[in-house]
Structure 1
Amino acid sequence: MTVIAFAIGIVLMIVGLAVSIALHELGHLVPAKKFGVRVGQYMIGFGPTLWSRKVGETQYGFKAIPLGGYISMAGMYPPSPKARQAHGQGSGHVSGQRSGRAGGGFFATMVQDARAANDETLIGDEDQRVFYKLPVWKRVIIMLGGPVMNLLFAIVLFAILLSGIGVQTATTTISSVSECIIPAEAGRTECTSADPAAPAAAAGLQSGDVIVSVEGQPIATFAEASALIRESSDEALSIVIERDGEQRTLSLTPAAVTQPVTDAAGRPVLDANGVARTQEVGFAGIRQEVEYLRQPIWSGPAAAIENVGAVSGIIWQLPVKVYETAVTLVTGGERDPNGPLSIVGAGILSGEVASAEAPILNRVAGFLALLASLNIALFVFNLIPLLPLDGGHIVVALWDGVKRAWAKLFRRPPPKPVDATKLVPVTFVVVIALIGMGAVLILADIFNPLSIL
């Protein structure tokens, strides 16, 4: 059953990723069509086409590898000089015309190929339904549409998580009382006649009791009661509880037990010799009752904005973070739990959430949190101002606007549209770098994965 649940978690993450990509591309498609741009394709995924259907002038479909998507807009860039010359001579559409290898070698050939592919989307020099002829603000809206859809989807998911389901909060109600104290080294969970009675059971505490005060101090959270108990080993404490609508006063003497010292992340703290440090604390043998408390409706947007800041910090240091991840992959060291991960890692975490021994609501909440975080990552990542990412296209549009405004200010003729195909060599380097970093993260997620367990 655990294996099946793990597989279901991975499938759910794949479906969630596909939905996220579909919404991203829809964010580009809707404004593009609204502004009159001709859109040839709307595809989810890469590789061989699994299914497609043409509606109007646009081919909609799904491809085999659900790791991305795209829409094909006419005239993302101005026509190449050859296409402009051909159109000026009245030759019409020049689809597929290439003149062989361009001078300058590999990168020059890439530029020429990019121009040729772009020319194939044009219908003559007077074609007005092209992206590059739109006003700057319309081009920016089209390119922002994809990332913004991911941000809005994340806000919805966080709103469902925080305001629909709620945040797990430990109440002051006791959910269970241990019968005895079992030594940590015993390696068992069942009590024996040799085990001493747990202090809570000896004091008469019962499941369902609500802790009102400890030593006269009013208790608002279970953490407050727990802190007082931990600090009072072998000391009698006066505890007021509420049971069946009546308050009762009981005497509880926490037992002294030895526990490892942990840091804020719950990891053991080691001394200079590498030995785990321990401390003596008071133990009562009670567990709190946990319930979901629904948060205000604005908690979803607030959580999304907070996550944008956190992810931006990681993206800004992405090369360094990936290098650190590569080091842990080679050395087998512990990965940064707040570091980057690939879609493979997200799938593994989703599988762990689905197969965890926890109430179904807890697992649903965990999955929603993962999917929301993934969409925040898509939002931030796509705004990096480098081609071929959306942020790169936005920078190109803004630069075109600056050039036009400068020419207008000094009463000069309008400049030619910015030809982003000249940036193909830079785009190529960016793509290779992204592939390399992605490969490192995938390998790390396979051989040295992060885990919630």
Structure 2
Amino acid sequence: MTTLMMILGIVVFAIGLLFSIAWHELGHLSTAKLFGIRVPQYMVGFGPTMWSRKKGETEYGVKAIPLGGYIRMIGMFPPGPDGRLEARSTSPWRGMIEDARAQSFEELQPGDENRLFYTRKPWKRVIVMFAGPFMNLILAVVIFLGVMMTFGVQTQTTTVGKVSDCVIQQSENRTRCEKGDQAAPAKAAGLKLGDKIVAFNGEPVKEWSTLQNDIRANPGKDVTLTVERGGERLDLNTHLIRNQVSKSDGNGGYVEGEYVYAGFLGFTPASGIVQQSFGQSVDRMGDMMENGVEALIALPSKIPALWDAAFGDGPREDDSPMGVVGAARVGGEVLTLDIPPENQIAMMLFLVAGFNLSLFLFNMLPLLPLDGGHIAGALWESLRRNVAKVFRRPDPGPFDVAKLMPVAYVVAGIFICFTLLVLVADVVNPVRIS
């Protein structure tokens, strides 16, 4: 049964992956057609074509390898300086440029002269290239907000999960009390397992992060905690002491390995599934975006540990980069967890949403062959033309993005090598959630 659920989870994730890719390419397709650009192909996947059907001037299809997708637009790159496709050069770099230019014109038909991608104004090309990643962002936001506002998220609450017996400095890394340790204020005040703290010094508190900040901001002060216990409300008086604790991240979590001195009560909050308001959900989405950007920037620094996990004896870190195979495996594990079905559905939706958020952020990098590279090229062209207009200089014409193809091949080569490294790590030393 576990194996069957694992396979089912992988299949469900694969369907979500294919939909995300198709949704991305639909953004490019719809805006390209809106601006009159001819699109001969719309494909989900790479490799051999499994199914296709031509409707109007566009062939729609699905290919064998579900690791991406594409639409083929006519005239992605402008012709050479002489207005024609340049002859093949013996220079490997020049050859790359000419190959890319030739491919963008290979399906040119009579009447397409005014339907070429490069002939559209820069702002229209920006919209066409941005529309794909933007569709992934929309999907991620809708899923994240939908799950957080209807189902909720696992979060720390103001309910007491454990009461400390004594005061221990966080850096001591011990859990047992020793002779001479001071009794924890929570213990002395009579705080008990299951108590729900609803007010701090008479001010209502609903979130753990708020309560945590209140406690830490009042070292050495007498405070009153209002708790719900057995259907009744009780006021507990206690004296907060100054103690060494883990540094807060401002959202109820902690910064690993960093400590500060602050007010200390001495209890561990219980975790639970809590529905989020629209404002709370938006705040969490903002944090996810920020974390995603930081993870993307930190990606190169994680390669040595990833290599050690794939080919050495190193552990696979929880925040290690993960590819499609690893994500599919996690999707399979989700359905094998001994948790309620609604929790499994929420986790699977979060996984698909996280994948879409990653697609958006990665594709916005200003590097060819990514969408962000074409966006950067269009913006640079617009800047050049506007500067020329201001200084009354001749129009420099379209920016030849094809000249950046050698860079694109280098970027693609690095990406392929990184993808293979992640694939090996996902197979031999995968990230596990169970």
TM, length-normalised to structure 2 = 0.74
Structure 2 counterpart of 1:127, one-letter code: E
Return the alpha-carbon distance in structure 2 between the equivalents of residues 411 and 35 of structure 1. Answer: 29
Q: Identify the match of residue 309 of structure 2 among 306, 322, 328.
A: 328
Asked whether the 8 Å contact 2:20–2:356 carries over to 1, the reply is yes
Return the alpha-carbon distance in structure 2 between the equivalents of residues 393 and 306 of structure 1. Answer: 28
For residues 180-232 of structure 1, the C-alpha deviation after alignment (integer angstroms, 9 at most, x for no partner) is xxxxxxxxxxxxxxxxxxxxxxxxxxxxx97478xxx99989999xxxxxxxx
Q: Identify the match of residue 122 of structure 1 among 72, 88, 108.
A: 108
Which residue pairs with 2:349 in the alignment?
Answer: 368
Q: Deviation at 1:102?
A: 1.9
Asked whether the 8 Å contact 1:80–1:116 carries over to 2, the reply is no
Q: Identify the match of residue 330 of structure 2 among 336, 349, 354.
A: 349
Q: In 2 relative to 1, CA 108–391 (structure 1 residues): closer, same or farther, beyond 3 Å? A: same
Aligned length: 366
Asked whether the 8 Å contact 2:21–2:68 carries over to 1, the reply is yes
Asked whether the 8 Å contact 1:155–1:300 carries over to 2, the reply is no
Q: Secondary structure at the match of 2:3?
A: helix
Return the alpha-carbon distance in structure 1 between the equivalents of residues 363 and 132 of structure 2. Answer: 8
Q: In 2 relative to 1, CA 113–172 (structure 1 residues): closer, same or farther, beyond 3 Å? A: closer
Which residue pairs with 1:66 in the alignment?
Answer: 66
Give the alignment of 1:94-109 within 5 angstroms: 102-104=89-91, 106-109=92-95
Q: Secondary structure at the match of 1:154?
A: helix
Q: Deviation at 1:110?
A: 2.3
Q: Deviation at 1:164?
A: 1.5
Which residue pairs with 1:75 in the alignment?
Answer: 75
Structure 2 counterpart of 1:331, one-letter code: G
Q: Secondary structure at the match of 1:39?
A: coil
Q: Secondary structure at the match of 1:404?
A: helix
Asked whether the 8 Å contact 2:366–2:372 carries over to 1, the reply is yes
Q: Identify the match of residue 378 of structure 1 among 359, 364, 381.
A: 359
Q: Deviation at 1:385?
A: 0.7
Q: Deviation at 1:148?
A: 0.7
Return the alpha-carbon distance in structure 2 between the equivalents of residues 414 and 212 of structure 1. Answer: 69
Q: Secondary structure at the match of 1:418?
A: coil
Q: Identify the match of residue 411 of structure 1 among 386, 392, 395.
A: 392
Structure 1 counterpart of 2:60, one-letter code: Y
- 1:447 paired with 2:428, answer yes
Asked whether the 8 Å contact 2:366–2:376 carries over to 1, the reply is yes
Q: Deviation at 1:373?
A: 0.8
Which residue pairs with 1:201 in the alignment?
Answer: none
Q: Identify the match of residue 148 of structure 1 among 113, 131, 134.
A: 134
Which residue pairs with 2:278 in the alignment?
Answer: 297
Return the alpha-carbon distance in structure 2 between the equivalents of residues 316 and 387 of structure 1. Answer: 18
Structure 2 counterpart of 1:149, one-letter code: M
Return the alpha-carbon distance in structure 1 between the equivalents of residues 206 and 282 of structure 2. Answer: 27
Q: Secondary structure at the match of 2:129?
A: helix
Return the alpha-carbon distance in structure 2 between the equivalents of residues 299 and 154 of structure 1. Answer: 16
Which residue pairs with 1:316 in the alignment?
Answer: 297
Structure 1: segments with no counterpart, 5+ residues: 87-97, 176-208, 225-239, 249-261, 270-281
Q: Deviation at 1:448?
A: 1.2
Q: Identify the match of residue 112 of structure 1 among 92, 98, 101.
A: 98
Give the alignment of 1:21-36 within 5 angstroms: 21-36=21-36
Q: Secondary structure at the match of 1:355?
A: coil
Which residue pairs with 2:237 in the alignment?
Answer: none
For residues 43-65 of structure 1, the C-alpha deviation after alignment (integer angstroms, 9 at most, x for no partner) is 10011111111111111111111
- 1:432 paired with 2:406, answer no
Q: In 2 relative to 1, CA 311–170 (structure 1 residues): closer, same or farther, beyond 3 Å? A: closer
